[in-house]
Amino acid sequence: MKLTKTTKSFDNKTAAQKWILLDAEGVALGRLATKIANTLRGKDKAQYTAHNDCGDFVVVINAEKVKLTGNKMEDKKFFHHSQYYSGMKTKTAAEMITKKPEQMIMDAVKTMLPKSKLSDHILTKLKVYKGSAHPHDAQQPIKA
């Protein structure tokens, strides 16, 4: 008896990728990051496959108005190393929100994606902006 494959794999060519617009104003950072990561991977779709990029594009606005609960504004630290001797740089979440709020959201989403080559490709579909203006009006993003 020969077994036949009845289900068709969901690949990049058959995936209909939409553009989703998320407003970060007043939303907790972790909850926002999980929603973004699941949308980028396509886990909210019925045709989800882990080895293919079947997720949607995500545009995040008002990145500087994201909410951190508890004492995370002073206690949470972000690290960066320049690869030189004693090149460790440390910033608190309050400094990151004022200087680079986009990077803070990108780091939170990056840690929630699987550590593989596919996650680097998936992360390019995330667009984060300070303020409510963004250059993706032509793609007609859907508010979520």
Burial label, 76 (beta-carbon count in 10 A; 0-12, 13-18, 19+): middle
Domains and CATH numbers, the chain: 19-69+101-143 (3.90.1180.10)
Task: State how far the Cα of 18 lies from the Cα of 58, in Å rounded to an integer.
Answer: 8
pLDDT at 144: 87
The first and second tokens of residue 96, run together, are 């990151």
Strand bridging mode 88-92 / 77-81: antiparallel
pLDDT at 112: 96
pLDDT at 34: 97
pTM: 0.87
Task: State how far the Cα of 47 lies from the Cα of 36, in Å rounded to an integer.
Answer: 18
Per-residue pLDDT of the chain (144 residues; tens, 9 = 90+): 555 555 555 566 666 899 999 999 999 999 999 999 999 999 999 889 899 899 999 999 999 999 999 999 999 999 999 999 999 999 999 999 999 999 999 999 999 999 999 999 999 999 999 999 999 999 999 998
